[in-house]
Chains A and B, each alone.
Chain A
Amino acid sequence: SQKIEQNSEALNIQEGKTATLTCNYTNYSPAYLQWYRQDPGRGPVFLLLIRENEKEKRKERLKVTFDTTLKQSLFHITASQPADSATYLCALGSGNDMRFGAGTRLTVKP
């Protein structure tokens, strides 16, 4: 069956460091992959989308990589700040289907 796994439930890092979150998937061939940010009690907010034929995408301090051979996406936040603390969700989509991972809760400590 199709499975989406985000590396860990929680990740704690020090302010200024680079946070790296992982999204692995099995038995699925996504046409695109997205990353969302979700704050407690709020709906997810779209951050970045990367398509199957793209290797890397950047937006300000964010970088996403997509390796369809490894079936993995890495999401990096450079120069992390306490305001980056949130849950980050990956979502894979193809055709009429889109599936979300359970998310990784990131805490950036000052």
Chain B
Amino acid sequence: EAGVTQSPTHLIKTRGQQATLRCSPISGHTSVYWYQQALGLGLQFLLWYDEGEERNRGNFPPRFSGRQFPNYSSELNVNALELEDSALYLCASSVGPVLETQYFGPGTRLLVL
């Protein structure tokens, strides 16, 4: 069974640009979660989607947004990139809205110059 996949693995942008990160959950999983992990910091919860709807949102500005598609894959968009947005962005999925059994992807490393 394929795990959670994320693309791209690495992304380099300049300040002010927009970044789009993609995530494909494990087959049969309907919930997708996005986290930011900056160097030396813990995982910070960004967004949670289930069945195409946004279920919860972390304490991040509106320039962090996303969506979930009918096939349950998801996109995270970061507008007006700032230097401090440089981080590892992790996606996780679960069978339904059950936070306690999340499976993580390998992450996308975003570098903002």
What residues make up the interface of A, taking CB atoms closer than 8 Å to B?
Answer: 4, 32, 34, 41-46, 49, 89, 91, 93, 96-103
Number of cross-chain contacts by CB at 8 Å? 52
Minimum CB distance partner of B35 in chain A: A100
Q: Tell me whether A89 and B107 are in contact (CB under 8 A).
A: no
Which residues of B have CB within 8 Å of A100?
35, 42-45
Q: Tell me whether A43 and B90 are in contact (CB under 8 A).
A: yes
Q: Tell me whether A42 and B101 are in contact (CB under 8 A).
A: no
Interface digits, B17-35 against A, CB 8 Å rule (1 contact, 0 not)? 0000000000000000001
- Chain B interfacial residues counted at CB < 8 A: 25
Minimum CB distance partner of B99 in chain A: A98
Chain A, interface SS category: strand
Q: Tell me whether B107 and A41 are in contact (CB under 8 A).
A: yes
13 pairs, A vs B, C-beta closer than 8 Å:
A4-B42, A41-B88, A43-B4, A46-B101, A89-B42, A96-B48, A96-B55, A96-B97, A98-B99, A98-B100, A100-B45, A102-B40, A102-B42
A43 to B26, CA, bound (A): 14
Q: Tell me whether A42 and B106 are in contact (CB under 8 A).
A: yes
Q: Tell me whether B56 and A96 are in contact (CB under 8 A).
A: yes
Minimum CB distance partner of B6 in chain A: A43
Contact of B107 among A32, A42, A91, A103 (CB under 8 A): A42
Q: Tell me whether B42 and A46 are in contact (CB under 8 A).
A: no
Q: Tell me whether B56 and A101 are in contact (CB under 8 A).
A: no
Q: Tell me whether A44 and B90 are in contact (CB under 8 A).
A: yes
Which residues of A have CB within 8 Å of B43?
44, 89, 91, 100
Question: In the complex, what's the smallest C-beta–C-beta distance from A105 to chain B, in angstroms?
Answer: 10
**B102 touches A (CB below 8 Å):** yes
Q: Tell me whether B92 and A103 are in contact (CB under 8 A).
A: no
Minimum CB distance partner of B42 in chain A: A102
Q: Tell me whether A45 and B104 are in contact (CB under 8 A).
A: yes
Q: Tell me whether B42 and A98 are in contact (CB under 8 A).
A: no
Which residues of B have CB within 8 Å of A43?
4, 90, 92, 104-107
Question: In the complex, what's the smallest C-beta–C-beta distance from B32 to chain A, in angstroms?
Answer: 13
